């Protein structure tokens, strides 16, 4: 029988242990010794073992309670997890600032609001950029229910049991809120050294760097391995807050600035990196950058730059996102690590579009925490510009996971034995004819690209297959480059569509496969048949169409106000691969060029691809195999309201409960329309504090004037 005394003792133990954990792992202010902490934890374990009904998900004993997994399950993020654009110089930061100013100038905002936002445009929250692994934490009524990796930004992997082993991540928040928080998981330099010392003793390969070690730890199938590596965290983003939540009778609202958001996260019990500040202009940002550039290597955690975010959340919402990144934030990266080595040879790599890319074969050298032996040379024009020869001593650099690049040749090291490299006239893989095409590179310089002109080049087909199943495409687990090569060599697949017709019996006789592994791959292929539309567009490997614009086009297809809205083009739905053929064949170049971010070469390439009957046949084959699109996250669901639907609203003054942008979004979701100016067609003027001249004009026109409270009653 469980007495009240036992229940009270267990609750006291949980609360005390969690408080000690918070002080040690979050505040870095331990108040008891490890022996005292361990003794309390042992008592709690014994009581929970004796009275299992007292064991709860938020108990400190549950941090290392998960069983080893066979594999990680995929989970869909509540909101898309964006990646940041990078800047490597003050000049690039200024370009970013100017782009935002131009975007703001194009918005049709009231003069007073525009003036306010223009003033806030250069107020930046500056945070250090932790070189770790992004984690997404879901809490329900204050309880941690899921921890996930970023994945492709839409689908990640459920690593909840490993996240629980991170002592600085609270299992229970200090307030019973439902929310999503985002941060970085990292491994300290001292912990990396400890792990490598142990690995050296066991004769195992050392972990390359703290970032890779953190990523590898969080993806261990056995949570006890992750727990043994003493991971840490910093949380920096309140990604989502369930609306209408109250604490002590007061509604909890999203913090209005990034600075207040970080403070709010601290109050909830998260570990937030203290090195953040508000800067008024890029001059102040540069001073902080120069300071951190000197002291970043003296920290226990890796820092690869700064993150700038426009401080005002309202302004963040106005600026919005590109297909890939938030416009209101940017990573200001530190200079990349540079080392010298020798180019021992230059070989050609054949890409999925047939482009021939020269690659330098290097004398192996350690850079940015890992050993590299290859570096991209981009194209023949780049080799000529930098005067690169086989045998040259060169400077290479590498930033994070980016492919190493040759920066310059140290010509003083030349001996006269170096050899000039020439682009061959035949494809090195299939001996097909090589054609050249003039391009304008990223630095706005004329260059020439070379392509294999053989449409059946097996190197091109292999790269198309690898691209098709990649993480940003169909993301088929277990179908890596080696398996693709094996299946192609065995004649089991010749095109992407063939993948969906593989059977267990096709795979079991092959080397590397057994009954279970063959079954797992077939199941993974079956699961992949339901695919997000942006991922499908990317997987097709259309020339010039990358991840960012695949998402942008898919989003515009489901935007009622866009010229690309699919229902404007005689289609009732977009769910099958061949629907895309009917859709794109009904478009012309001008339709697509209306979308900011789509260039002429890309648009021509897209239309050419979908007007090719061979590609139609491939899509038909995928459709017969059961490939279907997932589009829910692209659709803005309208909650129709008869009092709001088809009514035109104008907003003025400062609102109390929602921001102006939030109110506009709510009106649109309910079927209403938004106008920036009062006219005879305006149904309602929604007024807040200190309304402007619109109020007087509304009175003259007899427009109905309502408050926020009136609007809520209408809803």
The set of catalytic residues is 129
How far is residue 650's CA from residue 108's CA, in Å, rounded to a whole number? 13
d(CA 207, CA 214): 10
Q: Measure the CA–CA gap between 544 and 77, rounded to whole angstroms.
A: 27
Is the dihedral angle over the CA atoms 442, 444, 447, 449 positive or is it negative? positive
The answer to whether the beta carbons of residues 383 and 421 sit under 8 Å apart is yes
* HSE-up (13 A, CA, CB side) for residue 543: 14
319-331 b/e with 16+ CB inside 10 Å = b? Answer: bebebbbbbbbbb
Half-sphere exposure of 525 (CA within 13 A, CB side): 23
Beta-carbon count within 10 A of 614 CB: 9
- Per the CB < 8 A criterion, the answer to whether 213 and 192 are in contact is yes
Q: How would you classify the pairing of strands 370-376 and 337-350?
A: unpaired
User: For residue 150, what are the CA distances in angstroms to 134, 211, 235, 237, 571?
Assistant: 6, 15, 14, 14, 33
Distance of CA 39 to the CA centre of its chain: 42
The kind and range of the H/E element at 343 are strand 337-350
Other Cβ atoms less than 10 A from the Cβ of 266: the count is 16
Place of tokens 């043994």: 228
Q: Yes or no: say if 638 and 671 are a contact pair by the CB < 8 Å rule.
A: yes
Identify the residue whose tokens are 């690898």. 466
Burial (Cβ within 10 Å: 0-12, 13-18, ≥19) of residue 248: exposed
Structure tokens at 260: 């207040």
Q: Are 408 and 340 in contact (CB under 8 A)?
A: no
Compute the distance between CA of residue 664 and CA of residue 685 in angstroms, rounded to an integer.
12
Q: How far is CA 532 from CA 576, 637, 653, in A?
A: 12, 17, 40
Provide the CA 205 distance to its chain's centre, in angstroms.
30
CA distance 380 to 425: 13
Q: Could you give the residue ranges of the DSSP H alpha helices within 155-309?
A: 160-163, 189-201, 210-218, 223-228, 258-267, 282-295
Cross-strand bridge partners of residue 582: none
Residue with tokens 């098709």: 468
Give the Å distances, CA to CA, from 21 to 29, 353, 383, 601. Answer: 10, 54, 56, 56
**Inter-residue contact 535 to 475 (CB < 8 Å):** yes
């Amino acid at each position: 029988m469980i007495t009240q005394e036992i229940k009270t003792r267990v609750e006291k133990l949980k609360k005390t242990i969690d408080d000690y954990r918070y002080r040690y792992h979050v505040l870095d202010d331990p108040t008891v010794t490890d022996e005292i902490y361990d003794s309390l934890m042992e008592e709690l374990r014994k009581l929970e073992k004796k009275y299992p009904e007292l064991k709860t998900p938020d108990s400190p004993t549950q941090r290392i309670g998960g069983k080893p997994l066979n594999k990680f399950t995929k989970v869909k993020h509540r909101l898309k997890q964006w990646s940041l654009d990078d800047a490597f110089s003050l000049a690039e930061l200024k370009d970013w600032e100017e782009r935002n100013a131009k975007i703001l100038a194009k918005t049709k905002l009231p003069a007073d609001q525009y003036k306010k936002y223009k003033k806030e445009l250069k107020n930046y929250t500056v945070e250090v950029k932790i070189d770790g692994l992004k984690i997404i934490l879901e809490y329900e009524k204050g309880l941690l229910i899921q921890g996930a990796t970023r994945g492709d930004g839409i689908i990640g992997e459920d690593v909840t049991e490993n996240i629980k082993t991170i002592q600085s991540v609270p299992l229970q928040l200090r307030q019973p809120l439902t929310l999503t928080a985002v941060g970085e998981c990292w491994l300290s330099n001292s912990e990396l050294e400890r792990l490598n010392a142990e690995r050296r003793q066991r004769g195992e390969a050392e972990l390359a760097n703290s970032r890779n070690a953190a990523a590898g730890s969080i993806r261990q199938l056995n949570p006890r391995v992750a727990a043994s590596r003493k991971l840490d965290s910093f949380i920096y983003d309140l990604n989502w807050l369930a609306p209408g939540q109250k604490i002590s009778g007061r509604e909890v609202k999203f913090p209005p600035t990034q600075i207040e958001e970080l403070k709010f996260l601290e109050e909830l019990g998260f570990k937030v990196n203290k090195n953040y500040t508000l800067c008024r202009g890029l001059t102040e940002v540069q001073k902080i950058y120069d300071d951190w550039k000197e002291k970043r290597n003296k920290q226990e955690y890796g820092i690869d730059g700064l993150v700038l975010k426009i401080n005002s959340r309202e302004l963040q919402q106005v600026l919005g996102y590109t297909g890939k990144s938030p416009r209101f934030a940017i990573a200001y990266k530190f200079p990349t690590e540079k080392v010298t080595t020798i180019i021992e040879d230059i070989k050609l790599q054949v890409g999925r579009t047939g482009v021939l890319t020269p690659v330098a074969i290097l004398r192996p050298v350690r850079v940015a925490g890992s050993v590299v032996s290859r570096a991209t040379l981009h194209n023949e024009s780049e080799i000529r510009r930098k005067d690169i020869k086989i045998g040259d001593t060169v400077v290479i650099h590498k930033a994070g996971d980016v492919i190493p690049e040759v920066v310059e040749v140290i010509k003083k090291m030349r001996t006269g034995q170096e050899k000039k490299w020439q682009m061959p006239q035949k494809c090195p893989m299939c001996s097909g004819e090589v054609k050249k095409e003039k391009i304008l590179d990223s630095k706005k310089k004329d260059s020439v690209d070379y392509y294999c002109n053989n449409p059946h080049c097996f190197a091109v087909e292999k790269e198309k297959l690898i691209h098709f199943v990649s993480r940003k495409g169909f993301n088929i687990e277990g179908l890596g480059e080696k398996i693709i090569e094996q299946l192609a060599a065995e004649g089991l697949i010749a095109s992407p569509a063939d993948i969906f017709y593989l059977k267990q019996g096709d795979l079991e006789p092959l080397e590397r496969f057994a009954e279970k592994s063959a079954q797992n791959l077939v199941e993974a292929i079956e699961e992949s048949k339901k695919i997000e539309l942006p991922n499908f567009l990317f997987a097709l490997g259309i020339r010039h169409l990358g991840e960012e614009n695949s998402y942008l086009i898919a989003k515009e297809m489901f935007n009622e106000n866009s010229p690309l809205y699919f229902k404007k083009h005689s289609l009732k739905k977009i769910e099958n691969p061949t629907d895309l053929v009917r859709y794109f064949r009904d478009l012309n170049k001008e339709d697509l060029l209306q979308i900011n971010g789509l260039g002429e070469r890309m648009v021509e390439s897209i239309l050419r691809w979908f007007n090719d009957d061979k590609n139609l046949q491939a899509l038909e084959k995928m459709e017969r195999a059961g490939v279907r699109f997932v589009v829910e996250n692209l659709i803005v669901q309208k909650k129709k309201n008869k009092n709001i639907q088809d009514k035109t609203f104008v907003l003025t003054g400062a609102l109390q409960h929602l921001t102006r942008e939030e109110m506009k979004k709510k009106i649109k979701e309910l079927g209403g329309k938004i106008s920036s100016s009062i006219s005879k067609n305006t149904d309602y003027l929604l007024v807040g504090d200190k309304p402007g001249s619109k109020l007087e004009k509304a009175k003259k026109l007899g427009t109905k004037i309502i408050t926020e409270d009136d609007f809520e009653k209408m809803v």
